[in-house]
Amino acid sequence: MFGKLETLPADPILGLNQTFQQDSNPDKINLSIGVYQNAHGVTPIFTAVKKAEAQLIDAQETKSYAPQAGDPLFLQHMTQLLLGDSLSAQLGDRVGAVMTPGGCGALRMGAELLMHAREGATVWVSDPTWANHFPLLQSAGLKLEKYAYYSPETHAVDFSKMLSSLQAIPIGDVVLLHGCCHNPTGADITPEQWDQVISVLAERQLTPFIDVAYQGFGDGLNEDAYGVREAVKRLPEVLIASSCSKNFGLYRERIGAVMVITPDSKTTAAAKSHILTAARSSYSMSPYHGGGIVGHLLSDPALTQEWRSELEQVRARMNRLRGELADGLNQSQTVKDFSFVAQSKGMFCYLGIPLDAVRALRSEFGIYLLDSTRINVAGLSTENLPVIIDRVSKVLQR
Ligand code: PLP
Ligand code: TYF
């Protein structure tokens, strides 16, 4: 049966991370995979998450199946976190939410729903986008096309190009948008630009599929939800994939949610039944543990406050490091102006250096960034910054 199978290439990000782990260079620095690291290079468990988990385990009396859509407390609080209390209350049963195995599970279940609604529909993704969007959506049967987004020359969103690209999308197609903290570029659109994008979506009757994997990592929990909330206020239908991997640090627990908003509760109930059917035909229902933790945490005001302030510290630390990297690089070389690094949002940023420089950093100095020049800002630290600044300047000045 399996003898003829060829070994397939690894996921480029996970593969590079594995190469890093196997590198024997004692001075190696990992700026590849998008995982938060503290000043000691450790991916810590949020204290509030640890407490919520201990309380959850203590109070748990059964391991029997949870409801198929997932923990009701989790779904209610995740909806409120993403859409805000008043909008969620206003929408009521127009929101259908299902717990999923991570943001990836949410993207895949959203893709399945789109396929049920319109087989072979086209989803337009930003150029560039997170590499995993392709396998996650294409393997469900969707077609993917790209809309203009990032300019390597200005190191920012080319908004007029983006807008005209969106205006040329055939009526009725789907547009995948990053809710905040664009992966891989770190270049986001402003609230005013969101307003304009949403106007184009309304005019062209385009359905937004919004991927929110970094809420709280950009400008704050509410600020980062601006685009999603405005889309939900102004458009009849919105599909959302959210992840708790980064902002709750629950990566390995695989927890996220897919949410569908339609004009009425009957349509939402129908759409939700298609998500549940899609889940049933692959893994039946999501693992419970991560959702149990988040549901418990967000229903406890003291734990929620503690988590919010821990998240705030994570965000502040990444902002400080981003600023120090930009300043340090500008002071130590004159080949390139790196001021744009300080403007990036969230965990990632493109350095915009030549590919041979990326390769040299990796092979000569054990500094790992993706070939696209994406760095994980959270991989920087007070200790490794001087080394990174020195080595990047060296390879650029050759
Ligand atoms: N979407 C984007 C843009 C991401 O960067 C990620 C990864 O963190 C995800 C979705 C989903 O990740 P996970 O499945 O680990 O929650
Ligand atoms: O972009 C990243 O680095 C993160 C983590 O298959 C990730 O989103 C990378 C690859 C992957 C799943 C998650």
Whether 166 has a pLDDT exceeding 90, the answer reads yes
Counting ligand 1 atoms within 8 A of each CB, the residue from 36, 100, 104 with the most, and so the one to mutate, is 104
Going by pLDDT thresholds of 50, 70 and 90, the confidence category of residue 209 is: very high
Counting ligand 1 atoms within 8 A of each CB, the residue from 99, 130, 149 with the most, and so the one to mutate, is 130
State the distance from the centre of ligand 2 to the C-alpha of 346, rounded, in angstroms: 14
Whether 381 has a pLDDT exceeding 90, the answer reads yes
Nearest-5° angle of CA 48, CA 80, CA 76? 85
- Locate 67 and state its tokens: 């409801």
- Locate 329 and state its tokens: 């690089």
**% residues pLDDT > 70 (the chain):** 100
Going by pLDDT thresholds of 50, 70 and 90, the confidence category of residue 128 is: very high
Q: What is the pTM of this model?
A: 0.98
Ligand nearest to the Cα of 135, by number: 2
3-state secondary structure at position 75: helix
Whether 398 has a pLDDT exceeding 90, the answer reads no
Q: What digits encode the pLDDT tens for the residues 30-66?
A: 999 999 999 999 999 999 999 999 999 999 999 999 9
Going by pLDDT thresholds of 50, 70 and 90, the confidence category of residue 395 is: very high
State the distance from the centre of ligand 2 to the C-alpha of 121, rounded, in angstroms: 25
3-state secondary structure at position 380: coil
Mean pLDDT, the chain, rounded, equals: 97
Whether 185 has a pLDDT exceeding 90, the answer reads yes
State the distance from the centre of ligand 2 to the C-alpha of 62, rounded, in angstroms: 33
Average confidence (pLDDT) over 329-353 = 97
Q: What is the ipTM of this complex?
A: 0.98
Q: What digits encode the pLDDT tens for the residues 238-281?
A: 999 999 999 999 999 999 999 999 999 999 999 999 999 999 99
* Residue 292, beta-bridge partner list: none
Ligand nearest to the Cα of 377, by number: 2
C-alpha–C-alpha distance, residues 231 and 237, integer Å: 9
Distance of CA 198 to the CA centre of its chain: 20
